[in-house]
Amino acid sequence: MHIQLTVNDEFVTVEAPPDITLLDLLRDYLNLTGAKEGCAIGECGACAVIMDGRLVNSCLVLAPQADGSQVVTIEGVRADDGGPNDLQQNFIDYGGVQCGICIPGMIMAGEALLMQNAAPTREQIRLALAGNLCRCTGYQQIVDAIEATAKQRRGKQQ
Ligand code: FES
Ligand code: FES
C-alpha cells in the first residue's frame, strides 16, 4: 500500500506492506536507522519518535497509522550547522551517553518534554523518561542534561 507522511520536514511516499511497524518503515524503507529496536514490545523507548507532536514508541505504531502524519526522528534533531543541537551537546557534556543505544529515544523524549514544558522539575523530567530504559548511565546525567537545556533555552527567550 501507499503510505504518505512527512518525515523530518520531507514529504515521502512509501510503498510498503500494511502490517509493518512505523519503526520498520523508518529503518528499512527510509534508511533512517537512528531509532533502534530494543524490545519491539513498547517497553524500552529505544524506538521513540515524535509523531504529530507526541512521543510514540514507533515499534507499537503500524505504518498505516502514520499515513498523513508528521514524524520527527533523531535524524531531524540537529543544530542549524548540522552538528549536535543544544540538548544533544548537553548529553555529551554531562556524560549522559555511554553505549548510545538508548540515546536517540532519550533525546526524542527530552525534546518532546521541552516542547510541552519549558521549565520541568527534575521529577517531571524523570517522569517523562519513565518509558525509556538505559542500562549504562544511571539516568542522573541524562536528567542533568535535560535540566540544563531547559535552563539555557529559557535564558535565550528572555
Ligand atoms: S523497541 Fe520500541 S519500545 Fe522497545
Ligand atoms: S547509554 Fe547505554 S543504554 Fe543508555
57 shares a domain with 14? yes
Ligand number nearest to the C-alpha of 103: 2
Given the CA of residue 100, which atom of ligand 2 is nearest to it? Answer: 1
In-domain check, residue 60: yes
143 shares a domain with 101? yes
Q: How far apart are CA 10 and CA 57, in angstroms?
A: 21
- In degrees, rounded to 5, the angle at the alpha carbon of residue 9 between the alpha carbons of residues 155 and 45 is 70
Residue that is written with C-alpha cell 507499537 in the block = 60
Instruction: Provide the domain limits for residue 37.
Output: 2-76
In-domain check, residue 53: yes
Q: How far apart are CA 77 and CA 83, in angstroms?
A: 9
142 shares a domain with 101? yes
pTM for the model stands at 0.96
Q: How far apart are CA 111 and CA 88, in angstroms?
A: 10
* Full pLDDT tens readout for the chain, 158 residues: 999 999 999 999 999 999 999 999 999 999 999 999 999 999 999 999 999 999 999 999 999 999 999 999 999 999 999 999 999 999 999 999 999 999 999 999 999 999 999 999 999 999 999 999 999 999 999 999 999 999 999 998 77
Distance from the CA of 89 to the center of ligand 1, in angstroms?
24
61 shares a domain with 8? yes
Number of domains in the chain: 2
Backbone angles phi, psi at 71, to 5 degrees: -120, 135
Question: Does the beta carbon of 102 sit less than 6 angstroms from any atom of ligand 2?
Answer: yes
